[in-house]
Amino acid sequence: MSMKKVGSIEVYELDENLDKYTRKEREEYINELFKQEYQGKEISYLLNGEEIKALINQTTKRNFRAYQHSEKYETNKAFRTRQNIAFSGDYIDMISNTSYNYSKDEQKEFQKRHYRGSKWHYFKKNIKCNTSFFSVNIDILEKNSNYYIYNTKLKEVDAPALSRSMIPTSSVTNIS
């Protein structure tokens, strides 16, 4: 796969050789890739004009466990596209260079992994993969002044629905 920028949209072309690997082989490779290469990496985001570093770590289970999938979060097509991008080695490109969308305080205080004082920050951008357009949504958990990439998901969008205002050209934003 290769990623190239066309205007302000990142375009990913999936390699035709992906079909020669079984789903299980791809899942095992992606999980190893996350454990060996991505785990511990920090990705930069601009939040309120300030750079933050969000960590990909072992608690970011929805990122590196390729077999976890729920139709509640993304369609099968979006899930397969995200996994194919990760399998091809372009995952970091996919989750980088996003625009701030919004933030909110944690509302599920009593869950084990959440606690009072946590905050969620949401980032997004639009990409094209082969012939389809997707919105890349990244959920970042702020906990004890540390940032963690908690979840990434794709949502298919119609090309005509993409307006200039939806296509990110910069990550600089302010939180009201």
Q: Classify residue 166: in a domain, yes or no.
A: no
Question: Which is it for the CA torsion 21, 24, 25, 31, positive or negative?
Answer: positive
CA dist., res. 103 & res. 49, Å (int): 14
pLDDT of residue 50: 92
Q: Is the pLDDT of residue 34 over 50?
A: yes
Q: Classify residue 112: in a domain, yes or no.
A: no
Q: Classify residue 171: in a domain, yes or no.
A: no
Domain that holds residue 30: 2-14+22-104+118-161
Q: Is the pLDDT of residue 169 over 80?
A: no
Name the pTM for this structure. Answer: 0.80
Q: Classify residue 113: in a domain, yes or no.
A: no
Domain tally, the chain: 1
Chain centroid to Cα 150, Å, comes to 9
Q: Classify residue 172: in a domain, yes or no.
A: no
pLDDT of residue 98: 94
Q: Are strands 50-55 and 146-157 parallel, antiparallel or unpaired?
A: parallel
Q: Classify residue 168: in a domain, yes or no.
A: no
DSSP letter for 38, please.
Answer: I
Q: Classify residue 91: in a domain, yes or no.
A: yes
Q: Is the pLDDT of residue 113 over 80?
A: no
Residues 124-134: tens digit of each pLDDT = 999 999 889 99
